[in-house]
C-alpha cells in the first residue's frame, strides 16, 4: 500500500516537523532529528478520538494510540507556526486517522476505540461543571442583580438556571467516555472541516 504521511510541528521548542507514516503493518514515527520509531498495529491496545480545544486552537482534535507497552502516542491537527499562531491541518490529519483505523481493523480487529474524554478528565470536568452550575444558582440567590426589581424576580432566576441544564446535560452526554468498535466511530469524532472536505470529494467523484 502507498504510505499515508502526516507532518506537523508541535511547539516552539520542536526543531522541526514530526512525521507519522501509516504503513501496512505499522505506524512509523520520525522525529525532526531523524530518529525513527515503529509501532506494529498488532501491538496497539486501543485508540481515542476526541475534540480537545486549546488556547489559540479552538478547532483542535486529538487522535491517541495506546500501545501494549509504553506511553500513548498523541497526534493532533494543530501545526505550530509561531507565537500564538497555529495552522489547522485537519484534512491531512483526518486522512492519517482513517488510514490508521483501516489498518487496525485489518491487522488488529480486537482493538477498541474510545470516544469522548478520558475517565479522569471527564470526572474532573464534570465536577467543575457541577460546581459552576451550583455557583451560578447561589450567585443569583445571594447577590443583587438587575432582575431583583422585576415583579417576578424569583421565577426569572429559576428559569435562567433551568435553561442552563439542557446545555450542561448535552455536554455531559457528548463528553462521556465510551468504547466503540473501530468501524463504528461517529463522524463527530473528526474535525468538521475535514469531514466536509471528504463529503465534497465523494460528491465530485459521483
Q: What are the pLDDT digits (tens) for 44-76?
A: 999 998 888 899 999 999 999 999 999 999 999
The reply to whether 20 and 98 lie within a common domain is yes
The reply to whether 66 and 130 lie within a common domain is no
Q: What's the length of the chain?
A: 206
The reply to whether 88 and 61 lie within a common domain is yes
In 3D, which of 16, 34, 29 has the Cα closest to residue 72? Answer: 29
Cell numbers 480537545 label which residue?
Answer: 52
pTM: 0.70
Residue 20 domain boundaries: 4-116+177-205
**Domains in the chain: how many in total?**
2
The reply to whether 63 and 99 lie within a common domain is yes
Please report which confidence band the pLDDT of residue 149 belongs to, taking 50, 70 and 90 as the band edges.
confident
Amino acid at each position: 500500500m502507498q504510505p499515508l504521511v502526516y507532518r506537523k510541528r508541535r511547539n516552539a521548542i520542536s526543531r522541526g516537523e514530526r512525521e507519522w507514516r501509516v504503513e501496512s503493518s505499522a505506524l512509523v514515527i520520525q522525529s525532526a532529528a531523524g530518529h525513527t520509531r515503529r509501532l506494529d498495529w498488532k501491538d496497539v491496545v486501543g485508540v481515542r478520538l476526541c475534540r480537545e480545544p486549546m488556547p489559540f486552537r479552538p478547532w483542535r482534535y486529538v487522535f491517541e494510540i495506546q500501545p501494549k507497552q509504553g506511553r500513548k502516542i498523541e497526534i493532533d491537527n494543530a501545526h505550530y507556526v509561531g507565537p500564538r499562531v497555529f495552522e489547522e491541518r485537519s484534512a491531512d490529519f483526518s486522512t492519517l486517522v482513517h488510514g490508521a483505523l483501516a489498518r487496525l481493523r485489518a491487522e488488529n480487529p480486537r482493538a477498541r476505540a474510545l470516544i469522548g474524554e478520558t475517565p479522569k478528565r471527564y470526572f474532573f470536568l464534570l465536577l467543575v461543571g457541577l460546581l459552576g452550575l451550583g455557583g451560578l444558582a447561589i450567585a443569583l440567590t445571594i447577590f443583587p442583580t438587575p432582575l431583583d426589581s422585576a415583579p417576578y424576580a424569583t421565577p426569572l432566576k429559576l428559569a435562567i438556571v433551568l435553561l442552563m441544564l439542557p446545555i450542561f446535560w448535552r455536554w455531559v452526554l457528548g463528553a462521556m467516555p465510551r468504547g466503540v468498535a473501530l468501524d463504528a466511530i461517529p463522524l463527530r469524532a473528526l474535525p468538521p472541516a475535514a469531514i466536509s472536505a471528504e463529503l465534497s470529494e465523494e460528491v465530485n467523484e459521483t
